[in-house]
Structure 1
Amino acid sequence: MNKNRKITIVTAALCLITSLKAWKKKRTQQRKPKQWWIRPGLRNRCTSGFYSTLRSKLVSQDPKWLKNFLRMTMEDFDFLVARLTPHIYKLNTRFREAISVGERLAVTLRYLATGDSFSSLMSVFLLGKTTICHVVHNTCSAIFKALKDEFLKVPNTHEEWTEIAECFYQRWNFPNCCGALDGKHIAIQAPANCGSEYFNYKKYNSIVLMAMVDADYKFLFVEVGAYGRESDGGVFARCALSTALAENSLNFPPAKSLPHESDEMPFVIVADDVFPLKTYLMKPFSFRNQVMSFKIFNYRLSRARNVVENVFGICASRFRILRRPMDVTPEHATVIVLAICVLHNYLLIRKSIYI
């Protein structure tokens, strides 16, 4: 019995080895040899590509067109190049010249501005499709890493929160408000074998951007990557901001009396009715059997809360990739959205208005 079992095992092993060798040989025969190191149509990038030819002409002849192409002025572009150089600079080799930091940034900004496919951008910048894919993902990651500490910082002192609340009161007539909170679904192409995790109530696959903004349309906090099937309230319950607010680790200022009132009221963040009511989170009254005072309160709260909706609209208008499904993995989509958020704050602080 043992002898027959050994013979069976050896025979099975020999069959497996033979099958693996045949599969490897067949795969090697089917693999086509590489035809070229650089595609013939892309070999003139240094003399015919956008960054080396059209850019220099547009700077002097039509800067408005260039601003529309890159979604920022050349001054803002050059500042970004200087900030990103330590992160994405590459050295030339004996085989080929490295892609410059400016060209990497231009490719990334054009991708964010239009949402065009990598094949479409290949004909503009004369770079390979795979190269553009790597350039975009690496540059977006570098943008967020280089700018987040300066342009996407959560306030952490009483003075900073009080200044934001004063701005909300002056602009939107809502006192003791430290921010507006909401979530946005970013459409993506769902990865294989993910089931319904990214499938949301709007019948498309998405990831969730949870954001809090101030009265000047700047992001104060962003968190990206939650499944599209989750509600905004559920995403907020598990995000870092919810924990920080519950533990009061953000140093919210103490309660303060409202204008023309003597009663002290806590500082709050305004949100819509899908969020829970907390001492630090204010939502509107129920829409059933409202009296006039409730309607006035809801109107004022809606004015303050609409700031975050406006920010989402501004970002989607400047960076049109947010208006179409991203054909990338959820991890890469998360990095792209984070880069867009920090770029929005950067351009807003530098007063670079896109028209």
Structure 2
Amino acid sequence: MNKKRASIAFASLCLIATLKAWKKNKCLKRNKKQWWIRPGLRHRATSGFYSTLRFKLRQQDPQWFKNFVRMSCEDFDYLVEHLTPYIGKSNTRFRKAISVGERLAVTLRYLATGDSFSSLMTVFLIGKTTICHIVHETCAAIFTALKDKFLKVPNTPGQWAEVADQFAKRWNFPNCCGALDGKHIMIQAPANCGSEYFNYKKFNSIVLMALVDAEYKFLFVEVGAYGRESDGGVFARCKLSSALADNTINFPPRRPLPNEADPMPFVIIADDAFPLKPYILKPFSYREQVMSHKIFNYRLSRARNVVENVFGICAARFRILRRPMDVKPENAKTIVLAICVIHNFLISRNSSYLTRTDTDNETNGELVAGNWRLELGPNGKLISLRASTTLGRPADDAINVRAAFMEYFMTPYGEVPWQYNRTIIHNSF
């Protein structure tokens, strides 16, 4: 009897050992990499598109190079030099590191086209998981390396006065320190996010809040607010809102408008989504307007159109903004910040990134649409914040500031000759 029990126990132990060995072998087979480098990607150094881009296109067809990465060879080299301390990798005994130039080319092509990582894999012969890491790391490095030089908020009264002088010269709007607007950036809904990112236009988004100068450059950007948040709430929680309220942004002291005597505050201009403040001008209601209100709305809209152009140009140049980003919200935020700083960088470099025909222009008061409008079409623009109806009554001093600007635009010194012919005034061109 004892021998029978012993044999049964021994057989059970053998069966258990066999099952464990089978399970371990199955896990090893499942987790074992099939290749160290996928066969189709092994000749990246000689057959990948970056080798052609680097050696042939730069010399034989620079325009193709520019169309491919959205910048000239000189601008590309500048970025490579400044990004090397952040994303440069060392070669190992097992493989050569992907160069900074190749990482930058992959990232710029992703931003320019919005192609999937799988599509970029077939072009650059780099694994799609690696491309995913490269894009997010390079975008973060672009913002970190360039923000202090090309996306720096003015912080002295003199710097803000220079911005205001630009608006007065180019848009006939004195004491204006920037045009403010917010846009919804489309993203794929993250897992288990509920309705946090679901906005009033019925898609998921994060909000880009931006202040823009008269030369089509970003002065301030903040990205990441939930798309479902109320539009007044997005700005109320924005860093710019508290900085303006406390004047920690260092706006200059009041000064008179040209040929006027009474000192007036410096302001930023915005649309109906924002509150009327002594430092924020917004349009009058479009219901039952008198002529002076129409004139003011036209002049404000004319100057504020600069921010619409900036968003439109970014969406036309970097098409990743025109489709839902299939990345985590924090990575989408990094991508948008990188695009903003690249936009400023290219304008500051005096490259052909932005030409006169790319932006809206006026001929005798009539709008000539910029190329970006023709490229994007009526449905290609980024979606604005919804005009708020819950902001409450503005303070008397805010109402008085707006009225003073309105009266100035009706004087011989403040008017533009064609403004009285525009009896139908829109919020934006």
Normalised TM-score (structure 2) = 0.76
Residue 31 of structure 1 aligns to a residue whose secondary structure is helix
Alignment partners' CA distance in 2, 1:31 and 1:182: 51
Shift of 1:351: 1.6
Partner of 1:3: none
Q: Which runs of 5+ in 1 are unaligned?
A: 1-20
Are 1:61 and 2:60 matched, yes or no? yes
Deviations 1:155-202 (A, max 9, x none): 011111111111101111111100000001000001011011100011
Partner of 1:33: 32
**Partner AA of 1:336 in structure 2:** I
Partner of 2:286: 287
Residue 269 of structure 1 aligns to a residue whose secondary structure is strand
Deviations 1:314-339 (A, max 9, x none): 10111110001101000000000000
Asked if structure 2 preserves the Cα contact closer than 8 Å seen for 1:209 and 1:222, the reply is: yes
Deviates most, 318-327 or 260-269: 260-269
Are 1:223 and 2:218 matched, yes or no? no
Partner of 1:135: 134
Deviates most, 281-290 or 134-143: 281-290
Task: Flag the structure with more relative contact order, 1 or 2, with Cα contacts below 8 A and sequence separation at least 6.
Answer: 1
Residue 59 of structure 1 aligns to a residue whose secondary structure is helix
Shift of 1:58: 0.7
**Partner AA of 2:46 in structure 1:** T
Alignment partners' CA distance in 2, 1:273 and 1:157: 28
Alignment partners' CA distance in 1, 2:288 and 2:263: 28
Alignment partners' CA distance in 1, 2:28 and 2:350: 59
Check 1:203–1:123 CA distance in 2 against 1; reply closer, same or farther (3 A cut): same
Shift of 1:260: 2.5
Alignment partners' CA distance in 2, 1:133 and 1:80: 20
Asked if structure 1 preserves the Cα contact closer than 8 Å seen for 2:255 and 2:263, the reply is: yes
Deviations 1:57-107 (A, max 9, x none): 111111111100000000000000000000001000111100000000000
Check 1:29–1:79 CA distance in 2 against 1; reply closer, same or farther (3 A cut): closer
Are 1:277 and 2:291 matched, yes or no? no
Asked if structure 1 preserves the Cα contact closer than 8 Å seen for 2:53 and 2:65, the reply is: no
Residue 155 of structure 2 aligns to a residue whose secondary structure is coil
Partner of 1:309: 308
Shift of 1:233: 2.4
Partner of 2:70: 71
Partner of 1:8: none
**Partner AA of 2:107 in structure 1:** T
Shift of 1:30: 7.7
Are 1:115 and 2:141 matched, yes or no? no
Structural mapping, 1:1-355, within 5 Å = 28=27, 31=30, 33-354=32-353
Q: In angstroms, what is the RMSD of aligned CA positions?
A: 1.6
Alignment partners' CA distance in 1, 2:105 and 2:351: 17
Alignment partners' CA distance in 2, 1:189 and 1:166: 41
Asked if structure 2 preserves the Cα contact closer than 8 Å seen for 1:161 and 1:252, the reply is: yes
**Partner AA of 1:205 in structure 2:** N
Alignment partners' CA distance in 2, 1:175 and 1:61: 48
Deviations 1:91-130 (A, max 9, x none): 0011110000000000000000000000000011000000
Shift of 1:25: 6.2
Asked if structure 1 preserves the Cα contact closer than 8 Å seen for 2:346 and 2:353, the reply is: no
Shift of 1:246: 0.8
Asked if structure 1 preserves the Cα contact closer than 8 Å seen for 2:255 and 2:265, the reply is: yes
Shift of 1:353: 2.4
Alignment partners' CA distance in 2, 1:306 and 1:317: 16
| Number of equivalenced pairs | 334
Alignment partners' CA distance in 2, 1:157 and 1:56: 46
The percentage of counterpart residues that share the same residue type is: 78
Deviations 1:207-254 (A, max 9, x none): 000000000000000000000112332211101111111111111011
Q: Which runs of 5+ in 2 are unaligned?
A: 1-19, 355-429
Shift of 1:274: 1.5
Asked if structure 2 preserves the Cα contact closer than 8 Å seen for 1:68 and 1:354, the reply is: no
**Runs of 4+ residues over 4 Å off in structure 1:** 24-27
Residue 320 of structure 2 aligns to a residue whose secondary structure is helix
Deviates most, 167-176 or 106-115: 167-176
Shift of 1:54: 3.6
Shift of 1:33: 2.8
